[in-house]
Structure formats: C-alpha cells, structure tokens
Chains A and B, each alone.
Chain A
C-alpha cells in the first residue's frame, strides 16, 4: 500500500518535472498556466478592490445606499460562475475579461462589507481628534480613517483572494482558467491524474502564498499595531483575520464568502 502511494507520488512528481516548461513552445507546460492563473486571480482581486473602495465610501457617506447594494452583490454572488462565463463569452470572447469580470464582481460580496465596516469602526474620538487638528473631510479620510480601516480591509482581501484563486479554475470550462486548464484539459479529458493533482496542489500553494503576502502587507501598512503590542498596549484582536469566514466579525452584515463555483 505505502509503496504504491510512494510510486504514485513519484509518478506525479516526474510528470510535473517533465512538463514544467518548454523553452521552444512557451505556451505549453505548467509554468505558463501558473502565470495565467496568477494574472487572472490578481487582476480580479485588484479590480474588485478598486470597485469596493469607492462603493464602500459612498455607502458610508450615504447610508441608504448600503442595504440595497449589499443585497445586490449577494444576489449576484448566487449566480453560478459558469453561467456568467457563458453569458459573457459572446461579448468578451476568449479574452481574460470573461474570467476577470465575474470574479471581480464576486469579490465585492466580501470586500464591500469589510470596507464599510472598516470605515465605520473608526472610533469617534479619533475622528474628533482629527477634526480638532483642523483636518478637512478628505484629509481625514486619507490620513486617518483609511489607515485605521486597513486591518479590516486586508482581512477581507485575504478571504476574497483565497476564494478567487480557487474559483479561477472554473473558468477552464470556457477555455480560460490557468491551472484549471491543467486540471481539465491535461487531466480529466485524458483521464490522467497527475495533471489534476499538480493543478490542485499549485492552486492551494498559490492561495497560501498570496495569504502570506497579504499578512506581510498588513504588517508594513500598520506599523503602529506592532508597536502597540510590543509596548503591551491595548492588544487589538485581529478579528476577521483570525476567523476569516467573514462571519464572526461581520455578523450584522451577513455575507456569503468564499470558494464557490
């Protein structure tokens, strides 16, 4: 039994080594699929964040906007990704946009509540201190409220990025999808398990690596949090970051997070 498992993993490893990259055919092999996966996932997350920040600001400024917008993104999230890919195909064809647009919209279900909660949780005395220092609304937003909201926004990004990276694979059903193509075309259609295993493992590794990058980004963007902890000051529990289903910290906003197809 164990010898069989050993042989099998050896076979998977050999396949991965033999198919990693073909200098003569740059479009073939595992590496270009990985690069494509990173491109599709990161572009979706970046566009999602670029949409979530202005929408979140608008929701904080005009509170009536928030409930309908939140319902809207939640309904959109329930649309199967494969249906959105199919529906976009006639317009965007086999370009990256067919995968990126739906995935970017899906991230809003996590990012929008986190941006809104992040901005809303700025303590009143902090805001008042900024006003007393003569900060105008814009300067207050950029210099005070946004930095204070960073941990919550990054917690949302962590959940959204894991979900997006795993969902990119579904786009393989319309001929995109980075590592998903490895799983579908090289693996499933040829009834060959090595490419599927390699694809799944690389997707998981990519998700973990991205998560680590975001944790690092948070440390760099919020140096005061570390300083507080060293001084034994009030320890901020990284709420959503600790329990990243988005549910505990975001109970009132009720989101439907990650990883669906």
Chain B
C-alpha cells in the first residue's frame, strides 16, 4: 500500500505534468523515438519480406539475417554506434531498428509464403501479373501476419526505448534511471507504469488497425485458424 501511495503522490504532483522533464514531454520523446524506429524498420523490412516471399528467392538468407539480428545484444549495438557517431538520436534509432527489423521481416516473408497456392492459381487464371498478384492478392492476405510482426516489433521497441535514457537522450527511461540514481522507488515505478501503458495502447492500436485494414473474410478465418 505504501508503494501505491508513493505512486499516486508521484503522479499527482502538478510539477510532474509540465516542463522539459514532465510526463507529457518525456512521453512525447518516447513516442517519437519509438515511432521513428518502427517506421524506418517497416520501410526496410516490409519490402524485402514481400519480395523474398513473392519470389521465394533469398528466404534462407532472410531467415539467417533475422536470426543474427535477433541475437545481437541491444546495448552492444547502442554503445558501438555511440562510439562511432556520438551521443544523440542516431545510436538509439540504430539499436531499436536492429531490434524491430527481424520480427517484421520474418512475419512478412512467412505471410506471403503461406498464401494458399489455390488463391495464387486463381489470380493467375484471372490474368494477373506478378506485381498485381503481389499487391492485390499476397499483400492483403499476408496482412494479418504482417500486422502481428509490426505489433511485436512495436511493443519491443517501446519497452527498449527506455535504454535511450542511458545515453542521455530522454524518453520515459529517464524516470527509471533518475529514480535509481535518487533512490526514488516511486519514480522508477511511475516510469515503468507509463512504459507499460504505452505498450498496452500500442497493442490496442494494432487491434484497431487489424479491424480496419484486414478483409472481413480473412479476419474470421485467421481468428479461428491455427
């Protein structure tokens, strides 16, 4: 209960809600890094995944690269880029992109690969060309999986953007590192609660995107299909 009281006091402090180290500013920074990293990763991973999935070429290479990137320790990437490019946005985004590319890439590739061959035949029969098959058939059918990949990446990025505070560029991680430095438990907890809330909101946004973007027939199917 003492912990809860401390948390309520921390959130209730009016100073917490304004200025450069206020919650709105920190939340804004956090969202900005996360969004930037996610958009960049999607721009890298989705086209490659679509292409390798569509052509069937380079599937093994893609999987190996994604596996390699997944094994990379985030702080190692972060510190290496800090030493090469200096403190700032670049190392943070680089580390987050390295984290976000594998799930998007693998899910896009798998999504396109697992399109029912019967559907592809039907598209051929309708006289669709390769490009049309990719954009009008494979992309929409693979969309549920692509969205799951993006959501997975987004939740990881939101949780990991916390590390950005260690190289001094703000975000919600500041509360966690500053809280530890000041031995202020409520501050660490407050920062964590905000990160978790942001992750939950992100998940809900993707659920909404799924409702809006995925064709109704596919939605029903992929909800029950295993």
Contacts and interface: CB of A to CB of B under 8 A. Distances in A.
B76 to A, nearest CB: 4
Contacts of B74: 166, 169-170, 259-261
Interface in A177-230: 179-180, 183-184, 187-188, 191, 193, 196-197, 199-200, 203-204, 207-208, 211
A119 B53 CA distance: 30
B8 interface: no
Contact of B73 (A86, A166, A245): A166
A11 interface: no
Interface stretch (A43-51, A58-66, A143-151, A249-257): A249-257
A261 B159 contact: yes
A98 interface: no
Nearest to A252: B226
Interface string A138-167: 000000000000000000000000110111
A79 B192 CA distance: 6
Nearest to B223: A252
Interface of A: 74-75, 77-84, 86-87, 89, 117, 121, 162-163, 165-167, 169-170, 172-173, 179-180, 183-184, 187-188, 191, 193, 196-197, 199-200, 203-204, 207-208, 211, 243-245, 247-248, 251-252, 254-261
Interface stretch (B10-18, B20-28, B130-138, B141-149): B141-149
Interface of B: 63, 67-68, 70-77, 79-80, 82-83, 99, 102-103, 106-107, 110-111, 114, 144-145, 148-149, 151-152, 155-160, 162-163, 166, 173, 176-177, 179-180, 185, 188-189, 191-192, 195-196, 199-200, 203, 222-226
A259 B99 contact: yes
Nearest to A239: B226
Contacts of A187: 79
Interface residues of chain B: helix, strand, loop or mixed (majority): helix
A260 B73 contact: no
Nearest to A187: B79
A261 B76 contact: no
Nearest to A168: B73
Contact of A162 (B71, B80, B111): B71
B103 A247 contact: yes
A256 to B, nearest CB: 5
Interface residues of chain A: helix, strand, loop or mixed (majority): helix
A8 to B, nearest CB: 12
B62 to A, nearest CB: 11
Given A89-B180, A261-B160, 17 more contacts: A80-B176, A84-B192, A86-B188, A87-B192, A166-B74, A184-B75, A188-B79, A191-B83, A196-B83, A203-B76, A207-B70, A248-B111, A252-B224, A252-B226, A256-B152, A257-B103, A258-B70
B195 A80 contact: yes
